[in-house]
Chain A
Amino acid sequence: MSAYFGLHVGRTNSCVSVCKDGKSDVVANDAGDRVTPSIVSFSSEEIAVGLPAKQGLFRNMSSSVVKCKELLSWNGDEEELAKLRSTSVCPVIIKNKKLFYEVEVDEKKKQFSPEDILVHIYRKLYDIAIHHSNAVDESMKAVVSVPLSFTSEQRQAVWKAAEKARFNVLQVISEPAASLLAYGVGQSNKHETLCCLVYRCGGATLDVSVVSVRGGMYSVVSSLHRKQGGDKFTALVANYLADEFQNKWKLDPRESKRSMFKLMGAAEECKHVLSTLNTAHCFVESLHEGVDLSANVSRARIDMLITQLFPEYIGPISEALTQAGLTAADVHKVIVCGGTAKMPRLQQAIQEALPNSELLSNLTADEVFAVGCCNQAAVIGEPWDTVCQYKQVSVPAISKAISVRCGDEEESQTTTVFCAQTPLSSRFSLPVPLGKKHNVAIVDVFEATELVAKLTLKNLPEAPSVAANFHLSSDGSLHVTLTEKITGVTTAATIGTSVAA
């Protein structure tokens, strides 16, 4: 069995996962980390990607590129460009209406497009992946995830970048879909009709998407994008550490940019550790004026610090739901993903905001997309839609819900067979409870509230077992059969559509 890879490149971190023999797992990089920083730094000798680039970030600011995904998703907005420029460590220039990084290598200015940077990151992921599989002749089939908002061209650019890094790209999928696939929502049971909320909070951005799952297919109902991420939390933690440091040594590390850089790194690490452990020891050698920082931070302390920001981070959930025309009670499942969403306190807050939902968090939040991607790769197995023309596919579906009422009494319960917008070509079968008269089985089929068909089996034998089969054919017509299993007596009805198929 060949291995399938799932690639996720985020603004801050990237992840690669592999699906082999039906099992998916994240591939650890050469440093043993399961995620790799999405940072590329150029020097005269080499191009460093990942951890080395991150560690050297404050030394060679002008030759490092961070958050290239931001630039990749730039849509030509001037205001946003200004923001991008402020967040980027190396200068960003516009050439031919496209953005380029101007990186200083060997005192020479070189220009790199975000795609070039992306290629370097994917190549790093390729190295990680190839290291894992130990097989060079593998075809390195991979699925790549991109934000929902990416256009076809942007998806294509990502595809090409991954292909340049020698991956055999099968498909580019959107992040919410990848997250649902990671948990296999609706995949095992086609008849699940669910409403999922994907809460993604990464290093720099926040996305909340509401996805409805019908007939095993995902359709994104609403989606929100916010420019706020874990950086704020990190800043809070760093600030706290700085205060501690100042209290102790009467030295303010905030005076120096370099000290702050070190502190931010320590704070980030501390934050990550506290996502899994209760206390974290934070140590920075020679933080400021030769004095080391050494502090123990407890999770409670951090939780207390970050709670003040929660309204900002929880608010978008209700906003997205309102946009989708739903309420918090309608959400069945919540998927948390992204590095920031790892924080237990944040997950707890999300759970509190959506009380009726099941929080899916058994996968590490920042690995969800990659896992989903490799699952998708395993499903399709071969390249599909190589030009990324299908961001979303329009599938025929029924416009109104179909429900049945078994038994002849008016008060008997109606059961929904197919919800509205269930994609066509679907089947459903259910056992029919008998009415008060034990030898008669009656099934009323409703479309919405309107009775469209009535099926009856009379003179049933003793202890009958009656099942109703519903087949929604691809032309939109509904075929209902009512079968008594012992005698094999069947009655059928075909309900056509008013619109010619």
Chain B
Amino acid sequence: MGEVQTVGHSEVFHKLSGACHTDVEPVGRWFRAWWYHHQRNGALSGEGLSVAESGSQSDEEVECSTVEIEDDVEYLRSLDPKEWKDQDHYAVLGLKKVRIIATEDDIKRAYRQKVLRHHPDKRKAAGEEVRADDDYFTCITKAYETLSVASKRRAYDSVDSEFDDDVPSSNAANKSRFFEVFSPVIAANARWSVRSNVPLLGDVNSSRDHVENFYDFWYNFESWREFSYLDEEEKDKGQDREERRWIEKQNKAERARRKKEEMSRLRSLVDAAYACDPRILRFKEEDKQKKLDDKKAKQDAVRARKEEEERKRREEEENKLRIKRQAEEAARARQNAAKREKENAKRALKREREQLHKYGKQFNYFTGDEAELVKRMADLDRLCELLTIDELDKLNKKMAVVSLDCVDQGRTLFDEAVDELNRRIDEEKQQHLGGGLAPGSAASNGGSKKKGGSNQWSPEELNLLIKAVNLFPAGTNQRWEVVANFINQHHGGNRGSKEVLAQAKELQSGDFSRSALKEAANKAAYNKFEKESKAGPAASEESIPSERYETPAEQLGINLTPWTADEQRLLEQALKTYPASLSDRWERIAEAIPNRSKKECMKRYKELVELVRAKKSAQAAVAPPKK
């Protein structure tokens, strides 16, 4: 030391102008050192580890992890080198706390430190007594030998006594405290994984992916744990190859057994976790719910579709029904309208008729004569019956113009009308009667006309013809010759067989209106009728349409007791008198006609109706060419 004390002095003038940041590539040892230092400071700053303290260490220590290496001399001294296999290697090296987390570097450092402190030479120098043969330093060496070689260290780590092999059971208590119970166990067991990035349990809010990934990983857990450290005997101790082999075999079996146990332990752990996991429960429920929802949605969809179909169907039906109803209504309306029109027409007709009657009455039927009166009245009735509404209307109008005084004028009108009517009826009659003749006369059927014209068949001849035809039925040899002979013999004419045949055909054709026979019959009947019903009040042969008179003649050959004209008239009267609405109509009709029963009347009526219909259709068929 000098005479003057060395004096240090320092002064600071300014502060530094702050830090900036620079981007660096995350590579290299210096970056790694900085990173770990930074991470640790960041993590531990809250725990009171002074930055300055760690900062004041040497660079090397900043760079490396600051794992504290303990030095438990008592423990070291208590060690027996012969029992090295049972010692806690980490404790020997002073890494009791870090254990499996210790890096290779830590172990190396710890060993170096131990060597420096506990080497026998060093202790001898310090004056400590050292037993040469079984010094505890051997344990340190053994510990380092074990931990520095990766495979040996793995073997030791596998059977680390500090590791808790317990597996929580899946009971209700664990279920309720699932995360508290299982999280640490899972985290502890994660160390055995061959693969890094072991997924941990997470918490109740972990995503489904995470949970699924977790169980996927843990159910396929690959453990590096192996139990060679627990081998009963060292393979190398064997005397010869045979023995070594045997030991090896034994060890192998034992290892396999333990490994199996370990696997089942892990499996049971994961099973227990799975059984207790509230998230799994939740997911299952969610799945179930989802399935149900899906099902329900499907059903709903089906139902909705069905309903929709049903609705459409109903709509369609309703539509159809409505259309039908509309159609029906329309039809009904049409019917009604038609009915109404008809009724109107009827009413109008009635009105006109009444009007005409009224005029008739007004003008006292245009006559003062009693006898004339009846005829007039009959005429009037006929007018009323037969004139169409228009004609009646016309007549009535004409009548209306005629004043009460000039009866003559009215009578002229009335007569005109009656004449007109009569003329028309006659025309019609002519038409009907001449229907057969007209073509005969007008058409070019010259042959028949000549024959028919030159050789008129007399009624006697006709009667003979009918008789002969009946006498010689079809099938008779040379029938028509025989018939012609028969007629010629009885009547004395000169009819040829052909003539006879034509006439018979004509008769058979059924159109009696054409035959002269009918006309003759008509005349006869009329005369008879006129003779018999001279006193008949209003009935007139003209009041009944001519067609009606054809019927009796028609029926001649059919009924055994043919209807007489009288009877026919009575029937017609009765039919008119008793309307169809009466229940006992036919009894009454039958009563009205003497000699005829109800049955006969009905039969007759039916025949008449048939006749009329047939005739009408015949008329209709002939009508178009005529018009």
**Does B505 count as interface, using CB distance less than 8 angstroms?**
no
16 A-B pairs (CB sep. < 8 Å):
A171-B26, A216-B29, A219-B22, A219-B23, A385-B26, A392-B26, A393-B24, A396-B20, A397-B19, A399-B17, A423-B30, A455-B8, A458-B9, A482-B10, A489-B6, A493-B12
Q: Judging by beta carbons under 8 Å apart, are B20 and A498 in contact?
A: no
Q: Inside 8 A of A487's CB, which chain B residues have their CB?
A: 1, 6
**Does A454 count as interface, using CB distance less than 8 angstroms?**
yes
- Against B, the Cβ 8 Å flags (1 = close, 0 = not) of A394-408 are 111111101000000
The answer for the CA separation of A478 and B8 in the assembled complex, in Å, is 18
Q: Judging by beta carbons under 8 Å apart, are A173 and B1 in contact?
A: no
Interface residues of A in 146-178 (CB under 8 A from B): 168, 171, 173-174, 176-178
- Against A, the Cβ 8 Å flags (1 = close, 0 = not) of B1-43 are 1101111111111111111111111111111101101100100
The answer for the CA separation of A459 and B6 in the assembled complex, in Å, is 5
Residue of B at shortest CB range from A218?
B25
**The one of A219, A399, A457 that contacts B8, using a Cβ cutoff of 8 Å:** A457
Q: Inside 8 A of A477's CB, which chain B residues have their CB?
A: 16
**Does A421 count as interface, using CB distance less than 8 angstroms?**
yes
* Least Cβ–Cβ distance between B47 and chain A, in angstroms: 17
- Against B, the Cβ 8 Å flags (1 = close, 0 = not) of A190-220 are 1000000000000000000001001111111
**Does B516 count as interface, using CB distance less than 8 angstroms?**
no
Q: Judging by beta carbons under 8 Å apart, are B197 and A386 in contact?
A: yes
Q: Inside 8 A of A473's CB, which chain B residues have their CB?
A: 51-52, 55
Q: Judging by beta carbons under 8 Å apart, are A398 and B11 in contact?
A: no
Interface residues of A in 226-271 (CB under 8 A from B): none
CB within 8 Å of B: which residues of A?
A: 1-2, 139, 168, 171, 173-174, 176-178, 180-181, 186-187, 190, 211, 214-220, 376, 379-386, 390, 392-400, 402, 421, 423-425, 427, 447, 450-462, 471, 473-478, 480, 482, 484, 487, 489-499, 501
The answer for the CA separation of A501 and B8 in the assembled complex, in Å, is 28
Additional A-B contacts beyond A181-B28, A495-B15 (15; CB < 8 A): A173-B27, A177-B25, A178-B27, A218-B31, A219-B22, A380-B32, A392-B24, A394-B24, A397-B20, A402-B16, A454-B11, A459-B2, A474-B51, A484-B6, A496-B15
CB within 8 Å of A: which residues of B?
A: 1-2, 4-32, 34-35, 37-38, 41, 51-52, 55-56, 59, 62, 103-104, 150, 194, 196-197
Q: Judging by beta carbons under 8 Å apart, are B18 and A498 in contact?
A: yes
The answer for the CA separation of A186 and B24 in the assembled complex, in Å, is 13
The answer for the CA separation of A214 and B59 in the assembled complex, in Å, is 16
The answer for the CA separation of A174 and B23 in the assembled complex, in Å, is 13
Q: Judging by beta carbons under 8 Å apart, are B25 and A453 in contact?
A: no
* Least Cβ–Cβ distance between B191 and chain A, in angstroms: 13
Q: Inside 8 A of B104's CB, which chain A residues have their CB?
A: 1
Residue of B at shortest CB range from A480?
B10
Q: Judging by beta carbons under 8 Å apart, are A476 and B34 in contact?
A: no
The answer for the CA separation of A471 and B55 in the assembled complex, in Å, is 9
* Least Cβ–Cβ distance between B100 and chain A, in angstroms: 13
**The one of A216, A402, A476, A482 that contacts B30, using a Cβ cutoff of 8 Å:** A216
The answer for the CA separation of A501 and B51 in the assembled complex, in Å, is 12
Q: Judging by beta carbons under 8 Å apart, are A478 and B16 in contact?
A: yes
Q: Judging by beta carbons under 8 Å apart, are B24 and A168 in contact?
A: no
* Least Cβ–Cβ distance between A389 and chain B, in angstroms: 10
**The one of A187, A402, A474 that contacts B41, using a Cβ cutoff of 8 Å:** A474
The 5 closest A-B pairs by CB, nearest first: A491-B8, A216-B30, A499-B18, A177-B25, A476-B19
Q: Judging by beta carbons under 8 Å apart, are B21 and A395 in contact?
A: yes
The answer for the CA separation of A382 and B103 in the assembled complex, in Å, is 11
Q: Judging by beta carbons under 8 Å apart, are B10 and A492 in contact?
A: yes
Q: Inside 8 A of B55's CB, which chain A residues have their CB?
A: 425, 471, 473-474
Q: Judging by beta carbons under 8 Å apart, are A452 and B13 in contact?
A: yes
Q: Inside 8 A of B51's CB, which chain A residues have their CB?
A: 473-475
Known contacts A177-B27, A393-B26; decide if A452 and B8 are in contact (CB<8 Å). Answer: no
The answer for the CA separation of A499 and B35 in the assembled complex, in Å, is 22
Q: Judging by beta carbons under 8 Å apart, are A476 and B18 in contact?
A: yes
The answer for the CA separation of A497 and B20 in the assembled complex, in Å, is 11
Q: Inside 8 A of A214's CB, which chain B residues have their CB?
A: 22
Q: Inside 8 A of A462's CB, which chain B residues have their CB?
A: 2
Residue of B at shortest CB range from A185?
B28
Q: Judging by beta carbons under 8 Å apart, are A453 and B11 in contact?
A: yes
Q: Inside 8 A of B13's CB, which chain A residues have their CB?
A: 451-454
**Which among A171, A176, A392, A395 has the greatest number of chain B C-beta atoms within 10 A?**
A395
Q: Judging by beta carbons under 8 Å apart, are A395 and B22 in contact?
A: yes
* Least Cβ–Cβ distance between A217 and chain B, in angstroms: 4
Q: Inside 8 A of B103's CB, which chain A residues have their CB?
A: 381
**Which among B17, B20, B28 has the greatest number of chain A C-beta atoms within 10 A?**
B28
The answer for the CA separation of A65 and B398 in the assembled complex, in Å, is 119
* Least Cβ–Cβ distance between A148 and chain B, in angstroms: 9
Q: Judging by beta carbons under 8 Å apart, are A497 and B29 in contact?
A: no
**The one of A211, A390, A399, A495 that contacts B12, using a Cβ cutoff of 8 Å:** A495
Q: Judging by beta carbons under 8 Å apart, are B150 and A1 in contact?
A: yes
The answer for the CA separation of A382 and B38 in the assembled complex, in Å, is 18
Q: Inside 8 A of B28's CB, which chain A residues have their CB?
A: 177, 180-181, 186-187, 216-218, 376, 379
The answer for the CA separation of A352 and B8 in the assembled complex, in Å, is 52
Q: Judging by beta carbons under 8 Å apart, are A383 and B197 in contact?
A: yes
Known contacts A392-B26, A493-B11; decide if A216 and B31 are in contact (CB<8 Å). Answer: yes
Known contacts A186-B30, A474-B51, A475-B51; decide if A497 and B17 are in contact (CB<8 Å). Answer: yes
The answer for the CA separation of A477 and B51 in the assembled complex, in Å, is 12
* Least Cβ–Cβ distance between A212 and chain B, in angstroms: 9
The answer for the CA separation of A217 and B24 in the assembled complex, in Å, is 6
* Least Cβ–Cβ distance between A298 and chain B, in angstroms: 41
Q: Judging by beta carbons under 8 Å apart, are B37 and A424 in contact?
A: no
Q: Inside 8 A of A394's CB, which chain B residues have their CB?
A: 21-24
The answer for the CA separation of A218 and B25 in the assembled complex, in Å, is 5
Q: Judging by beta carbons under 8 Å apart, are A490 and B8 in contact?
A: yes
**The one of B4, B9, B21, B30 that contacts A215, using a Cβ cutoff of 8 Å:** B30
The answer for the CA separation of A421 and B24 in the assembled complex, in Å, is 11
Residue of B at shortest CB range from A424?
B19
Q: Judging by beta carbons under 8 Å apart, are A461 and B20 in contact?
A: no
The answer for the CA separation of A489 and B5 in the assembled complex, in Å, is 9
Known contacts A452-B12, A482-B10, A491-B9; decide if A218 and B24 are in contact (CB<8 Å). Answer: yes
Q: Inside 8 A of B15's CB, which chain A residues have their CB?
A: 452, 495-498
Q: Judging by beta carbons under 8 Å apart, are B21 and A400 in contact?
A: no
Q: Judging by beta carbons under 8 Å apart, are B29 and A455 in contact?
A: no
Q: Judging by beta carbons under 8 Å apart, are B17 and A498 in contact?
A: yes
Known contacts A398-B16, A399-B18, A482-B10; decide if A2 and B150 are in contact (CB<8 Å). Answer: yes
Q: Judging by beta carbons under 8 Å apart, are B8 and A456 in contact?
A: yes
Q: Judging by beta carbons under 8 Å apart, are B20 and A399 in contact?
A: yes
Q: Inside 8 A of B2's CB, which chain A residues have their CB?
A: 459, 461-462
Known contacts A397-B20, A399-B19, A498-B15; decide if A174 and B25 are in contact (CB<8 Å). Answer: yes
Residue of B at shortest CB range from A393?
B26
Known contacts A186-B30, A219-B22; decide if A476 and B11 are in contact (CB<8 Å). Answer: no
Q: Inside 8 A of A178's CB, which chain B residues have their CB?
A: 27
Residue of A at shortest CB range from B31?
A217
The answer for the CA separation of A384 and B34 in the assembled complex, in Å, is 14
* Least Cβ–Cβ distance between B228 and chain A, in angstroms: 13
* Least Cβ–Cβ distance between B53 and chain A, in angstroms: 11
Q: Judging by beta carbons under 8 Å apart, are B10 and A454 in contact?
A: yes
Q: Judging by beta carbons under 8 Å apart, are B25 and A220 in contact?
A: yes
Q: Judging by beta carbons under 8 Å apart, are A393 and B23 in contact?
A: yes
Q: Judging by beta carbons under 8 Å apart, are B14 and A447 in contact?
A: yes
Residue of B at shortest CB range from A494?
B12
The answer for the CA separation of A395 and B10 in the assembled complex, in Å, is 30
The answer for the CA separation of A2 and B21 in the assembled complex, in Å, is 36
* Least Cβ–Cβ distance between B81 and chain A, in angstroms: 27
Q: Judging by beta carbons under 8 Å apart, are B1 and A190 in contact?
A: no
Q: Judging by beta carbons under 8 Å apart, are B18 and A393 in contact?
A: no
The answer for the CA separation of A471 and B11 in the assembled complex, in Å, is 17
Q: Inside 8 A of A211's CB, which chain B residues have their CB?
A: 25
* Least Cβ–Cβ distance between A426 and chain B, in angstroms: 8
* Least Cβ–Cβ distance between A128 and chain B, in angstroms: 22
Q: Judging by beta carbons under 8 Å apart, are B14 and A450 in contact?
A: yes
Residue of A at shortest CB range from B23?
A392
